[in-house]
Amino acid sequence: MPTKPAGTLYRGREGMWSWVGHRITGVVIFFFLLVHVLDTSLVRVSPEAYTAVIGTYKNPLMALGETGLVAAIVFHAFNGLRIIAVDFWKKGAKYQRQMLWVVLALWIVTLAAFAIRHLSLAFGGH
Amino acid sequence: MTATIDSPRSGRNSSGKNSSGRNSSGKIAPQYRRTGGSRGNFEMLAWLFMRLSGVVLVVLIFGHLFVNLMVGEGIHAIDFGFVAGKWADPFWQVWDLAMLWLAMLHGTNGVRTIINDYAEKDSTRLWLKIVLYAATTVIIVLGTLVIFTFNPCPVVDGVPLPGGFCPAA
């Protein structure tokens, strides 16, 4: 029976799961980006067309979706900086696990600040 | 007889001949060279681009989200006039243009990597990448044209839209 490989950087545990998270958030952000360029392009069609379509972003259900999108962006951003540190910092590979916990802590703080502001604007009425 | 065993990557084997793919002048033999193939340095440059564009995108996108969603009335303020006001200023035109190009190329290269990883058939990979590159081209060209051909002060039914950044009618 083959023994379990030990000490590999990317198989199992923090290294692999952060990689999985990076892929999934990357794909989500990419597809949103396609849609976002298309909806913004409506400013070139007419002011009414843009304002009507962008209005659909302003309901409370979409505010939750926007918060989810920002959660994906912030994770991808901070974990991306961690990947750069793993690649370019001499001790990056050694501390990749600790850096992931730093990424997650910063992610929660940043997301909490965003969510409080954005959701209170979106649900607070106008 | 005493045999000297060299360390595995010393470039010499026990017979004294070169086994590392390097010739006597120390150059790497062609079949072992990682660069200079038909694809050149493309994959290394793509890897480097992901890191460089990634750092810049963190700044551009965090700034974009903060200015558009966190300041003032946040999302309630976003309408035609909001976009017009931003793009009346070359600073935001350049900001959004850089964001569009870097994000699209960064995202396209990421999806390209995923296609290469998971699509096993040659023809599947080819078609997925054709669709990907077509979509990328359309979005980049469209976005660039919109940023540069946009008129922030349109006249609708003979009435100019209000905007502090527009010349008085």
pLDDT tens for each residue of A98-121: 999 999 999 999 999 999 998 888
Whole-number pLDDT of residue A14: 84
| Alpha helices in B66-121, H assignment, sequence order | 80-87, 90-118
Q: Does any domain span residue B129?
A: yes
* pLDDT value, residue B16: 43
- Find chain B residues with C-beta within 8 A of A118's C-beta: 69-70, 74-75
Q: Percent of chain B, pLDDT > 70?
A: 74
Beta-carbon neighbour count of residue A36 at 10 Å?
17
CATH number, domain with residue B92: 1.20.1300.10
If one counts the domains in chain B, the total is 1
Question: Interhelix angle for A96-123 vs A60-88, to 10°?
Answer: 160
**Residues B51-69: pLDDT tens digits?**
999 999 999 999 999 998 8
**DSSP secondary structure string for all residues of chain A:** -PPPP-S-SSSSHHHHHHHHHHHHHHHHHHHHHHHHHHHHHGGGT-HHHHHHHHHGGGSHHHHHHHHHHHHHHHHHHHHHHHHHHHHHSTTTTTTHHHHHHHHHHHHHHHHHHHHHHHHHHHHS--
Of A38, A51, A87, the CB nearest to B80: A51
Whether residue B71 is contained in a domain is answered as yes
Nearest-by-CA chain A residue for B52:
A84
Q: B108-142: per-residue pLDDT in tens? A: 999 999 999 999 999 999 999 999 999 999 999 99
Would the CB atoms of A44 and B150 count as touching at under 8 Å? yes
Contact yes or no for A124/A76 (Cβ under 8 A): no
Q: Answer yes or no: is B20 within a domain.
A: no
CA–CA separation, B57 and B54 (whole Å): 5
- A36 touching B (Cβ < 8 Å): no
Q: How far apart are CA B159 and CA B91, in angstroms?
A: 28
Cβ separation of B75 and A73 shorter than 8 Å?
A: no
Quick check: B14 pLDDT over 50? no
Residue B160 lies in a domain: no
Query: Chain B: nearest CA to A71, how far in angstroms?
Result: 12
Let me know if residue B110 belongs to a domain: yes
Name every chain A residue with its beta carbon within 8 A of the beta carbon of B150: 43-44
pLDDT at A22 over 60: yes
Domain of B67, in residue numbers: 38-152
Q: What's the rounded Cα separation, in Å, for the pair B99 and B102?
A: 5
Given the cut 0.90, state whether the ipTM is greater than it.
Answer: no
Residue A23 has pLDDT above 90, yes or no: yes
Residue type (1 letter), A123? F
Question: Residue B105 domain-assigned?
Answer: yes
Residue B22 pairs in a beta bridge with B28
For chain B, helix, strand, coil in percent to 5 are 60, 5, 35
Per-residue pLDDT tens over the stretch B62-107: 999 999 888 878 888 888 888 888 888 899 999 999 999 999 999 9
User: How distant, in Å, are the alpha carbons of A40, A101, B80 from that of B87?
Assistant: 12, 39, 11
Among A20, A27, A29, A30, most B C-beta atoms within 10 A, so best to mutate, is A30
Nearest Cα of chain A lies from the Cα of B15 at a distance, in angstroms, of 34
What is residue B29's predicted lDDT score, i.e. its pLDDT? 77
